[in-house]
Structure 1
Amino acid sequence: MNLVLKLIAGIVAGMVLGLYAPDFLIQLLFTIQTLVGQLIKFTIPLIILFYIASGIASLPQGSGSLLGKTVGLAYGSTIVAGTLAFIVASNVLPSLVGGNVLEAAVEGEKLKGFIDISIPPMFEVMTALALAFILGIGISAINAEGLRKGVNEARDIIEVLLSKVIIPALPFYIAGVFAEMTVDGTVFSTLKTFGVVLVLAIIMHWVWITVLYVGSAAAMGKSPAALLKNMLPAYFTALGTMSSAATIPVSLRATKENKVSDSIANFTVPLCASIHLSGSTITIVTCASAVMLLTPELALPGLGGMIGFILMLGVTMIAAPGAPGGAVMSALGLLASMLGFTDAALALMIALYLAQDSFGTACNVTGDGAIALWVDKFADEQEAPETKQAAES
């Protein structure tokens, strides 16, 4: 929540500076924005490479079909949630969001930072994604402990970079973007859109949680109200921590109160904390739709054009950093490469996402409990024939 307050302070500071500050202060802010933006671009492929490789390499082995079913349920929930979010956003937002408000409202030469530096990434996003899968699957296949340790340590380095440098610098980055929009005369229209998008995303989180638990309860003959009541401590803990990983102890206790066996809960909840991101996907898809409607250089694609992005998004966010904003940082590369987002559009995505990150995380965590219910059901069905066969013999 501290980060959200800093983000709001950055937005306000950017607006005040854009309205009243002398040119050299605005140029100094633009310089910071440029440096942070270039660092983010450089780091994106490294986030994808080391987090996905580490996540795949660390998947528990020897779990047989239950591992595959857990991963399939988590990925399926993420993809369906993202698809439904786009269908709703693409039909609702155009009537609520004014188009092309990011287009400059003043003519003439714009202010720029004092330096214009470029830090090219080591490789492209898709190269990082392919390499991550090759390394992750290879490490798991041959049990390469040395390489696994190296990948995990590289992931830890990137996480320190995120938590100690990039995330703390985001308020300055956002302040630069909002100062630029204030100078251009587009900031107030953009802020109006913020409120609409955030409310819509949170409503869709609640709808998706309801769908998961009503469907699960109907299939298992349980009360959806009772299941959701038991998961409320995990939901509210996630609102405060903004981290699925930090909420695991509470999620485990809540899941076990829903009568999920200890062994299944201990297996599925920590795993889903890394791979189940339905709430984050809802937010990213909704915010991306809004930013595309706001930006004249971008066009909102149809469902067919957006499905590929959603499918890739469910993969790139695997083992997203536990730090707030990890999911959107992992998604920036796809937003740029697949949807054509500009630097200004990416900055708006970061601001929109972080403003409700706690609600997206709470949706992720609460959904983990529903997946655990299904895995527990599959485990019981799998054990029943084995028990019957043993009794007969």
Structure 2
Amino acid sequence: MQEKKKKLGLLPRLIIAIVLGIVFGAYMPEVVVRSLATFNGIFGNFLGFVIPLIIVGFVAPGIGDLGNNAGKILFLTVVIAYVSTLISGTVAYTVDTAIFPRIIQEGSMLASATNPEEALLAPYFKIDMPPLMGVMSALLIAFILGIGMAVINSKSLNSVMHEFQSIIEKLISAVIIPLLPVHICGIFANMTHAGEVQTIMSVFLKVYVVIIALHIVIILFQYTVAGAVAKVNPFKAIKNMIPAYLTAIGTQSSAATIPVTLRQTLENKVSPRVAQFVIPLCATIHLSGSTITLTSCAIAVMMLHGMQFSFASMFPFIIMLGITMVAAPGVPGGAVMAALGVLESMLHFDPNMLTLMIALYLAQDSFGTACNITGDGAIALLVDKMTGSSSTSTSSTTTSSTTTTSEAYTH
């Protein structure tokens, strides 16, 4: 039998798309670049139409699911995960505003606007796709449905919303993600034609270095706090979580990494009862790494476009990120897809800026995911200590628990 050919991953496809976009913009005739710009206009409008559906499809079932559980462990886990997300975003903002002005020239992407010969090419035609509702309307509907399902314990509506979520996840994985490289190719072709690509490429690498450094800092902070409360060595606890971190880099999915995250959390002497509850829950509600990345990328894109921002405008954005990314799907890029509505409504990003955000985020998605799931282990340590659960268990119990949960969460 012939072995199945391994599919090219999303990151390699994005890199190829960027390279092709630069080549097309530099060497292809204007008709090619403008044709790609036409596709970008149609795809961008479709993305705008889908954003409210993504918000309803992700947020409503995510909030509804939280209501299916009760008790001290649920409350502590949700509160700690959300506080961790807020701290991560706030730290990112503080560091970014101190470093980015030194490495990013503000308003550098507006330079082409003053030179008509190097302006971005307009599409041949446009197809309007007005969304069914505004972003804020979608958020309100999602909150009302999610909280309502939790309060009345509606199994039928919960089932409908989960099926709707599956449709949206399929739309992202089968339509949006496959077409995304073409969209990004078109964006980079147009930027190359307008003379903007040198600015973008020089900024990309610098921003990534800052983001990954912030991931490391927040992991050290999480385990320092958890270690102090649970009275464990934070560096030993981090060392035990390295296999989960590396697995997340490969899978780009918190959900797919759950079996390994759980196994390594149990190695940190967290009781099986707490670990088996906290780790799967945090895989959907704890997104510290993603928040760092989205906050940093948003600030970088705003600076490139000469947009003004402050902590007063960014902190509400960080607050909403922690809510809108709840239950982001297991497909690569789920977090940024869920955040598009907030970027559009609160930070006033246009379609080109949203696409740039997607490209920036997806290029390092695996590292953000790795930061997320590594932090889940720290939360489990905190919850285990604060609920007074037993932190000792026999080797056989740990092995059995890990095997059972691994089977349950393997996709």
Cα gap change, 1:110 to 1:360, in 2 (>3 Å): closer
Q: Is the 8 A contact 1:255 1:369 kept in 2?
A: yes
For residue 183 of structure 1, what is the aligned residue in structure 2?
A: 193
For residue 354 of structure 1, what is the aligned residue in structure 2?
A: 362
Match of 2:324 among 316, 321, 346: 316
TM-score (norm 2): 0.90
Q: Is the 8 A contact 1:238 1:358 kept in 2?
A: yes
Q: Is the 8 A contact 1:104 1:184 kept in 2?
A: no
Question: Match of 2:12, as an amino acid?
Answer: L
Cα gap change, 1:293 to 1:110, in 2 (>3 Å): closer
Query: CA offset at residue 30 of structure 1?
Result: 1.1
Q: How much is the aligned-residue C-alpha RMSD, in angstroms?
A: 1.6
1:215 aligns to 2:225 (yes or no): yes
SS at match of 1:114: coil
Match of 1:107 among 96, 116, 119: 116
Question: Match of 1:309, as an amino acid?
Answer: F
Q: For structure 1, which runs of at least 5 residues remain unmatched after alignment?
A: 384-393
Residues 265-276 of structure 1: pairs in structure 2 closer than 5 A: 265-276=275-286
Match of 1:343 among 329, 348, 351: 351
Deviates more, 1:334-343 or 1:53-62: 53-62
Cα gap change, 1:259 to 1:382, in 2 (>3 Å): closer
SS at match of 1:102: helix
Match of 1:50 among 41, 53, 57: 57
1:2 aligns to 2:9 (yes or no): yes
Report % sequence identity: 49
Cα distance between partner residues in 1 of 2:389 and 2:205: 46
Match of 1:289 among 281, 291, 299: 299
Query: CA offset at residue 113 of structure 1?
Result: 2.1
Cα distance between partner residues in 2 of 1:348 and 1:272: 28
Q: Is the 8 A contact 2:68 2:153 kept in 1?
A: no
Aligned residues: 381
1:203 aligns to 2:213 (yes or no): yes
For residue 79 of structure 1, what is the aligned residue in structure 2?
A: 86
Question: Match of 1:111, as an amino acid?
Answer: L
Residues 223-262 of structure 1: pairs in structure 2 closer than 5 A: 223-262=233-272
Q: For structure 2, which runs of at least 5 residues remain unmatched after alignment?
A: 1-7, 392-411
Q: Is the 8 A contact 1:238 1:247 kept in 2?
A: yes
Query: CA offset at residue 104 of structure 1?
Result: 4.6
For residue 96 of structure 1, what is the aligned residue in structure 2?
A: 103
Query: CA offset at residue 17 of structure 1?
Result: 0.7
Cα distance between partner residues in 2 of 1:370 and 1:275: 14
Q: Is the 8 A contact 1:82 1:310 kept in 2?
A: yes
TM-score (norm 1): 0.94
Match of 2:22 among 15, 20, 41: 15
Question: Match of 1:107, as an amino acid?
Answer: P
Cα distance between partner residues in 2 of 1:62 and 1:90: 40
1:373 aligns to 2:373 (yes or no): no
Cα distance between partner residues in 1 of 2:27 and 2:149: 56
